[in-house]
Amino acid sequence: MIGRSFVVSKLKTIRISLQLQLQFGYLDSRLTMKIPKNKKQQKKEEAGKINETLGRIGQQLAQVADNSEDSSSDSDFEVVDNESLSEDEGSISESGMEQSEPSDNEDVVVSSDDDNNDDDDVGSAGDGDDRNGDDTSNSSEVDGGESDDSREVVEESDSSEDEVAPRNTVGSVPLEWYKDEEHIGYNLAGRKIKKKERQNKLDSFLASADDSKSWRKIYDEYNDEEVELTKEDTKLIRRLLEGKAPHADFDPYEPYVDFFAWDDSKHPLSNAPEPKRRFIPSKWESKKVLELVRAFRKGRIKFDDKPKEESNLYDVWADDSSLTERQGLTHIPAPKFKFPGHEESFNPSREYILSQEEINAHQLLPEEDRPKLIPKQFMFYRSVPAYEKAVSESFGRCLDLYLCPRARKKRINIDPETLKPKLPSRKELRPYPTTCYLEYKGHKGPVTSVTTESTGQWIASGSNDGSVRVWEVETGRCLRVWDIGEPVLQVVWNPLPELPLLAIAAGQDVFILNTGLGSEEEQKKIEELLCVETPTAPDDSDKNASFISWGPDDKHGGVRLKHFKTVSSIEWHRKGDYLSTLMPYDILSPNLNFIYLLIHTHLIGIRHCCEAFCLLSLCFCSFLNSLKRESRSVLIHQLSKKLTQRIPYKLRGLAVSSAFHPIRSIFFISTKKDVRVYDLLKQKLIKKLEPGVREVSSIAIHPSGDNVIVGSKDGKLVWFDMDLSSQPYKVLKSHEKDINKVSFHRSYPLFCSCSDDCTAYVFHGKVYSDLNQNPLIVPLEILRGHASAEGRGVLDCKFHPRQPWLFTAGADSVIRLYCH
């Protein structure tokens, strides 16, 4: 209904001018307003009243005419006049005149209407009734005619809409007012327009179903007719519904025509000069400021400089968390108390009072589990005694405060994973030895040493059972066994492939044996090389010769170097001609020993006489001792000339291990505490490396010669970069027990350490030719498999010279080969 009425009203606005419509509507409404009401009153009585009111209107009009001076009041008058006219005649010409001045009139009419509301009402009512009475008299006849007319009009409107004028003059009153009436309003002539006969709903539905145009037919309640919308109408409605302008040819987005000629305005619109007041300070402002200043001086204006007093109340139950930030990090909030409950009342309810059994049960509990408070009942508050623990608790609190730490312990929250160095994954660093595939079994005692031939075809091993064995790497076959007779401490294969010689340290002897693995020509050379004349009697004049004797070894067919002390370690020079031997233990010669003992006993005898002298002598003695020790513990033998040299350097401490530099003529000697690096050509100490470990057990030199690893008896592996400093580049604490041996691979970037904890560790140790880049050390693999024997684990480890394989010699008399 709303939609329809909306559409109809829209249509109306288009068809006729709004003003006209309103005008008539207003008038009509005035007339019709009272009609339904008055209908129930007696008509005859009111006929007289109408006359009265008409007369009153006339008077009022006259008054208005007198009072009004302006022209505007003229219209007022006219309107009222119109009113009366229209009531009387309702001529169209009059309404057409009204159209010329629409809005003003309307307003004024309303105001006047307000002023004389009652009178108008009465008057109009009278008019309406009057006419009603007329109409009703001939209603039956007129109704029929009127209705016919209206029907015709409707039909006409269907055919030619533009010409149709509104027939109903009832105005914009609610149509409900006419709901019960037989007419719908009044035509221009003031006649009633009869309601049309309603079609039966069923019929209308059928008709609408038949009629293909029924969807565009609209029932106009106002005029009581059906309107069929044309295509233009539907288009217009659609546009309105879309929120566009009703006319299609209206363009809301017309380009804005800027009519002002901006381009030519070189000069300001006003050519007047700036007024002077823009440049001088304001007189009134300065006066005001002066006034304020005076007021301040005289104290008429005061500042409220006191801060507002904050309340000293403390919210006991407030949440302390917000306060912590204000009081800084050192603030430690007091512990929270539980809210007091009923049981803490001086007179709690019965159910809180404990029975004697419960109290006894509490007594059985351990003290820390007992409840702190046992509720007690007092009849009066005044009978509550003082808190018995007041003193002790306040003392405790004082102690708490006194002992409370005043500084907060700082804890750094770091993910330990992030502290780990970024290392490449092990997969990228392949190949390296991982799995044990081959075992070389045959020794009867712990295998102390293993050594590889330079091509990697054979290995040799020495054992505590006094045998030296040569093995075929590929099959694990033992090719040769020598029985030395003494526990073999070390076996070293000559680095030259054409000299398959073995240097064996056993007891005080060093044997150089021919393995017989070379070709016939090589064998001949070796035989020539190992040909030694019978040992000459030790010449006392030559000190060197007195310590070492070169002689043929009849039993095994090699050379035998008799040392004066137990040889612990031997090392070949890379050229295979020189051989260094180490005698770490108790190096003193018998002569010196004797002297030392003599002095010692002598000193004991005279100790009580002069202690100072004693100390001095001891110092001298130890100096003598060290002097002799250094010169003899490390020897270098030359195989081709059968010569032995001493190292002319001083050593402090027992020599443990020695090594030749793989490229240059540099010699490394490690004592228990440090590693000394000597230049053999210049005969001087180049460097002293300080591993900072308890006891050095072995050293190994990187094939490039600039890096040294040191294994220690406290399980640490220390990497030195010779270019960096005498301090370790890296210390790897990996083994639980003593490291027995460390070793570098000749070609792969691998090194390893073996220990008494029956494991061997394999590391990736890449040294870059770029001096700016530090060596990369990555632990790769822990090789297990050896069994412990008499507290010893893996005694020696050596890499295969060409494959990434590792040989380990164990105290369980087995040599294992770990392959990649």
Counting residues that bind other proteins (by CB under 8 A) gives 18
Nearer CB in complex with other proteins: 505/817: 817
Ranges within 514-533 binding other proteins (CB under 8 A): 519
CB of 809 to other proteins, least distance (A): 20
Using the rule CB under 8 A, which residue among 63, 234, 282, 475 binds other proteins? Answer: 475
Kindly state the DSSP code that residue 261 receives in the 8-state scheme.
Answer: -
Using the rule CB under 8 A, which residue among 457, 589, 631, 774 binds other proteins? Answer: 457
677 and 658 Cβ atoms separated by less than 8 Å? no
> Residue 631 interacts with other proteins (CB under 8 A)?
no
CB of 476 to other proteins, least distance (A): 7
Q: How far is CA 807 from CA 230, 439, 440, in A?
A: 108, 9, 10
> Residue 237 interacts with other proteins (CB under 8 A)?
no
Q: How many CB atoms lie within 10 A of CB 603?
A: 19
Using the rule CB under 8 A, which residue among 10, 39, 376, 802 binds other proteins? Answer: 802
Contacts of 789 by beta carbon, 8 Å cutoff, 6+ apart: 446, 810, 811, 812, 813
Q: How far is CA 197 from CA 151, 204, 211, 218, 257, in A?
A: 10, 12, 20, 17, 58
CA atoms within 13 A on the CB side of 419: 5
CB of 529 to other proteins, least distance (A): 19
The interface region with other proteins, picked from 16-24, 163-171, 653-661, 798-806 by CB under 8 A, is 798-806
Nearer CB in complex with other proteins: 51/435: 435
> Residue 507 interacts with other proteins (CB under 8 A)?
no
671 and 653 Cβ atoms separated by less than 8 Å? yes
Using the rule CB under 8 A, which residue among 63, 286, 394, 435 binds other proteins? Answer: 435
> Residue 747 interacts with other proteins (CB under 8 A)?
no
Nearer CB in complex with other proteins: 523/774: 523
> Residue 803 interacts with other proteins (CB under 8 A)?
yes
Q: How many CB atoms lie within 10 A of CB 554?
A: 8
- Which residue type does 630 have? E
Report how far residue 504's alpha carbon sits from residue 468's, in angstroms, rounded to the nearest whole number. 8
> Residue 819 interacts with other proteins (CB under 8 A)?
yes
CA atoms within 13 A on the CB side of 778: 17
Nearer CB in complex with other proteins: 154/473: 473
Using the rule CB under 8 A, which residue among 20, 22, 54, 438 binds other proteins? Answer: 438
Kindly state the DSSP code that residue 196 receives in the 8-state scheme.
Answer: P
Nearer CB in complex with other proteins: 232/520: 520
* Coil vs helix vs strand at 753: strand
Nearer CB in complex with other proteins: 434/589: 434
The interface region with other proteins, picked from 21-29, 321-329, 356-364, 470-478 by CB under 8 A, is 470-478
Burial of 173 (0-12, 13-18, 19+ CB in 10 A): middle
CB of 628 to other proteins, least distance (A): 47
Instruction: Evaluate the CA torsion angle 21, 22, 23, 25 in order and state its sign.
Output: positive
700 and 746 Cβ atoms separated by less than 8 Å? no
CA 620 to chain centre: 70
Nearer CB in complex with other proteins: 153/436: 436
The interface region with other proteins, picked from 3-11, 81-89, 463-471, 801-809 by CB under 8 A, is 801-809
Using the rule CB under 8 A, which residue among 145, 341, 431, 648 binds other proteins? Answer: 431
CB of 564 to other proteins, least distance (A): 40
CB of 762 to other proteins, least distance (A): 16
| Residues 570-609 as x/- pattern, contact with other proteins by CB under 8 A | ----------------------------------------
Q: Look-up: residue for tokens 């507002």?
A: 308
> Residue 139 interacts with other proteins (CB under 8 A)?
no
> Residue 456 interacts with other proteins (CB under 8 A)?
yes
- φ/ψ of 758, rounded to 5, equals 65, 20
The interface region with other proteins, picked from 210-218, 371-379, 474-482, 781-789 by CB under 8 A, is 474-482
Tokens representing residue 696 in the block: 């050095």
CB of 453 to other proteins, least distance (A): 10
Report how far residue 442's alpha carbon sits from residue 471's, in angstroms, rounded to the nearest whole number. 10
Report how far residue 372's alpha carbon sits from residue 352's, in angstroms, rounded to the nearest whole number. 14
Using the rule CB under 8 A, which residue among 493, 578, 719, 805 binds other proteins? Answer: 805
Using the rule CB under 8 A, which residue among 362, 477, 543, 784 binds other proteins? Answer: 477
**Measured CA angle at 799 (ends 798, 802), to 5 deg:** 145
Using the rule CB under 8 A, which residue among 437, 594, 613, 620 binds other proteins? Answer: 437
CB of 629 to other proteins, least distance (A): 45
The interface region with other proteins, picked from 220-228, 378-386, 565-573, 802-810 by CB under 8 A, is 802-810
Kindly state the DSSP code that residue 337 receives in the 8-state scheme.
Answer: P
Tokens representing residue 335 in the block: 């512990």
* Coil vs helix vs strand at 589: coil
Nearer CB in complex with other proteins: 435/546: 435
Using the rule CB under 8 A, which residue among 115, 148, 320, 474 binds other proteins? Answer: 474
CB of 437 to other proteins, least distance (A): 5
The interface region with other proteins, picked from 67-75, 123-131, 359-367, 432-440 by CB under 8 A, is 432-440
750 and 702 Cβ atoms separated by less than 8 Å? no
> Residue 455 interacts with other proteins (CB under 8 A)?
yes
Using the rule CB under 8 A, which residue among 476, 552, 692, 705 binds other proteins? Answer: 476
Tokens representing residue 710 in the block: 């040191």
Nearer CB in complex with other proteins: 561/806: 806
* Coil vs helix vs strand at 504: strand
Q: Which value, to the nearest 10 degrees, does the dihedral of the CA atoms of residues 325, 328, 333, 339 take? A: -30
CA-wise closest residue to 423 among 24, 777, 144? 777
CB of 457 to other proteins, least distance (A): 6
Q: How many CB atoms lie within 10 A of CB 111?
A: 9
Contacts of 307 by beta carbon, 8 Å cutoff, 6+ apart: none
Sites of contact with other proteins (CB under 8 A): 430-431, 435, 437-438, 455-457, 474-477, 519, 802-803, 805, 819-820
